[in-house]
């Protein structure tokens, strides 16, 4: 099922409005097995709208879904352009006009004349009801394409999609795609692709997509049938193993909290360069209080010395950003909170504060467990916020891998 999306509105082109409508429709329709072949955003202007529709029709999509341009204001001109494009006259719906007037009165307002256009009904075409707004939608059969026109207000558009459009698309007997998204962390995109090439470069018949972020790379595998998807996923699992932390929409933080609860473990954090980010991420998950007991943000040397017992001598000799400091912080925060794990991070977030010996991006992460303590050294980049995010990710991933083996 091929879908083309047309967004109408100068406010989208100028960036005043973020086009979340296209994303939402894309997600919903991809999930039920459609394929979005193109999305255009055009101005509130006859020639642009008609030319976009004509270009779409060349692609013979099953549906063209238009959002925007159905309001009562002067620049909302889609309605008449559409009627002309599909070649239909319209009549005035007195009953709906009356209904609209009553709705306005209910809020103590009289209906503006400019709303009259919203009561127009095409002779060749259907009306799509709008339960929460005044602009109804339209549905036309045009050549081999069904053209749908919806208001641009997201809440109204979504309700109409959910109530009318998506069910009618599903009814056509469309077969949803089989999709699995393997979420990985700890391996950069290019290295990941190389690592799994023995699985991906054979003839598996699936579509593969890689979606990198600061936190990791999602691998999306899709096919019309589930067997090839599962078999490729299995091969990738064999190679990546625990670098895959979950599937689908599950978040990294949720995986860790869930794992912590399953293993009945507790953790405390001693954060320097991340400033509280690790605790913040864990506490984004409801139920995290059973795993996460709290922590210290030891941003100053005094705090490291006075509140987490790092000897001043260690800081003087090895520095606040050192393996030695990370080790003591991890052990002492574990003891202070009486938890199973203690995580510490200390590093140079940047952009200033680096030296040749200790460049910006240098980070030590410590993990204290009941078996002892370990420290790992990382070298991230020059960007402060990204260094913080990457540090938190590396620390939480180490916790996750330890929980898995515990």
Which 197-226 residues touch a second copy, going by CB under 8 A? 208-211, 220
* CA pair distance 275, 142, nearest whole angstrom: 58
Among 95, 143, 203, 352, binds a second copy (CB under 8 A): 352
Locate all alpha helices (DSSP H) within 59-165, ordered by sequence. 78-86, 94-106, 154-160
H or E segment and range at residue 379: strand 372-379
Q: Which stretch binds a second copy (CB under 8 A): 236-244, 286-294, 323-331, 394-402?
A: 286-294
Instruction: State the minimum distance, in angstroms, from the CB of residue 210 to a second copy.
Output: 5
- Applying the rule CB under 8 A, the residues between 318 and 337 that interact with a second copy are 336-337
105 binds a second copy (CB under 8 A): no
46 binds a second copy (CB under 8 A): no
**Which of residues 26 and 309 has its CB atom nearest to a second copy in the complex?**
26
* 345 neighbors 326 (Cβ within 8 angstroms): yes
Site size with a second copy, rule: CB under 8 A: 98
Q: Which stretch binds a second copy (CB under 8 A): 139-147, 228-236, 255-263, 280-288?
A: 280-288
271 binds a second copy (CB under 8 A): yes
* CA pair distance 66, 75, nearest whole angstrom: 16
Instruction: State the minimum distance, in angstroms, from the CB of residue 272 to a second copy.
Output: 8
- Applying the rule CB under 8 A, the residues between 60 and 79 that interact with a second copy are 71-75
* 165 neighbors 174 (Cβ within 8 angstroms): no
Q: From residue 129 to residue 168, what is the string marking binding to a second copy with x (rule CB under 8 A)?
A: ---x------------------------------------
Of 128, 114, 110, nearest to 65 (Cα)? 128
CA 312 from chain centre, in angstroms, equals 44
Among 283, 323, 335, 374, binds a second copy (CB under 8 A): 283
Among 162, 205, 351, 404, binds a second copy (CB under 8 A): 351
CB atoms within 10 A of CB 237: 15
Instruction: State the minimum distance, in angstroms, from the CB of residue 223 to a second copy.
Output: 14
Q: Which stretch binds a second copy (CB under 8 A): 161-169, 231-239, 295-303, 394-402?
A: 295-303
Instruction: State the minimum distance, in angstroms, from the CB of residue 383 to a second copy.
Output: 7
Question: Helix count (H) and strand count (E) of the chain?
Answer: 16, 17
Instruction: State the minimum distance, in angstroms, from the CB of residue 323 to a second copy.
Output: 17
Among 149, 164, 269, 322, binds a second copy (CB under 8 A): 269
Q: Which stretch binds a second copy (CB under 8 A): 20-28, 78-86, 142-150, 167-175?
A: 20-28
Among 16, 94, 95, 143, binds a second copy (CB under 8 A): 16
* 361 neighbors 343 (Cβ within 8 angstroms): no
* CA pair distance 123, 101, nearest whole angstrom: 23
- ∠ CA 165-123-161 to the nearest 5 degrees? 10
**Which of residues 92 and 211 has its CB atom nearest to a second copy in the complex?**
211
The CA–CA distances, whole Å, from 340 to 154, 255, 295, 369 equal 47, 18, 13, 6
12 binds a second copy (CB under 8 A): yes
Instruction: State the minimum distance, in angstroms, from the CB of residue 126 to a second copy.
Output: 25
H or E segment and range at residue 384: helix 384-405
Place of tokens 């967004």: 7
- Tell whether the torsion through CA atoms of 180, 181, 186 and 191 is positive or negative: positive
* 77 neighbors 44 (Cβ within 8 angstroms): yes
Through-space distance between the first and last CA atoms of the chain, rounded to whole angstroms: 47
**Which of residues 74 and 171 has its CB atom nearest to a second copy in the complex?**
74
Among 22, 184, 346, 397, binds a second copy (CB under 8 A): 22
Instruction: State the minimum distance, in angstroms, from the CB of residue 30 to a second copy.
Output: 4
């Amino acid at each position: 099922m091929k879908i083309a999306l047309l967004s109408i509105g100068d406010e989208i082109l100028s960036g005043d409005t973020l086009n979340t409508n296209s994303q939402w429709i894309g997600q919903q329709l991809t999930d039920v097995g459609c394929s979005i072949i193109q999305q255009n955003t055009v101005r509130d202007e006859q020639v642009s709208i008609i030319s976009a529709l004509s270009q779409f029709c060349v692609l013979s999509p099953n549906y063209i879904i238009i959002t925007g341009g159905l309001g009562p204001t002067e620049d909302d001109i889609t309605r008449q352009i559409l009627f002309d494009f599909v070649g239909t006259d319209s009549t005035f719906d007195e009953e709906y006009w009356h209904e609209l007037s009553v709705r306005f009165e209910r809020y103590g307002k009289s209906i503006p004349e400019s709303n009259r256009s919203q009561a127009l009904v095409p002779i060749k075409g259907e009306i799509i009801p709008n339960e929460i707004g005044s602009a109804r939608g339209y549905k036309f059969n045009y050549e081999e394409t069904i053209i749908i026109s919806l208001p641009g207000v997201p809440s109204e558009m979504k309700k109409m999609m959910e109530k009318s459009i998506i069910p009618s698309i599903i009814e056509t007997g469309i077969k949803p795609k089989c999709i699995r998204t393997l979420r990985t962390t700890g391996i950069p995109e290019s290295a990941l692709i190389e690592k799994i090439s023995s699985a991906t470069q054979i003839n598996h018949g699936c579509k593969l997509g890689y979606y990198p972020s600061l936190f990791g790379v999602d691998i999306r595998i899709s096919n019309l049938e589930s067997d090839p998807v599962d078999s490729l996923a299995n091969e990738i699992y064999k190679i990546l193993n625990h670098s895959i932390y979950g599937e689908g929409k599950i978040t990294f933080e949720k995986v860790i909290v869930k794992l912590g609860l399953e293993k009945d473990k507790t953790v405390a954090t001693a954060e320097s360069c991340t400033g509280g980010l690790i605790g913040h991420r864990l506490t984004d998950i409801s139920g995290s209080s059973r795993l996460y007991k709290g922590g210290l943000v030891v941003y100053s040397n005094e705090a490291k010395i006075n509140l987490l017992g790092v000897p001043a001598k260690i800081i003087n000799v090895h520095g606040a950003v050192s393996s030695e400091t990370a080790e003591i912080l991890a052990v002492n925060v574990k003891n202070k909170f009486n938890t199973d794990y203690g995580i510490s991070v200390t590093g140079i977030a940047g952009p200033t504060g680096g030296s040749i010996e200790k460049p910006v991006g240098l980070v030590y992460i410590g993990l204290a467990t009941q078996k002892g303590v370990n420290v790992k050294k990382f070298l991230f980049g020059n960007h402060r916020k990204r260094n913080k995010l990457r540090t938190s990710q590396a620390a939480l991933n180490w916790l996750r891998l330890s929980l898995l083996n515990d």
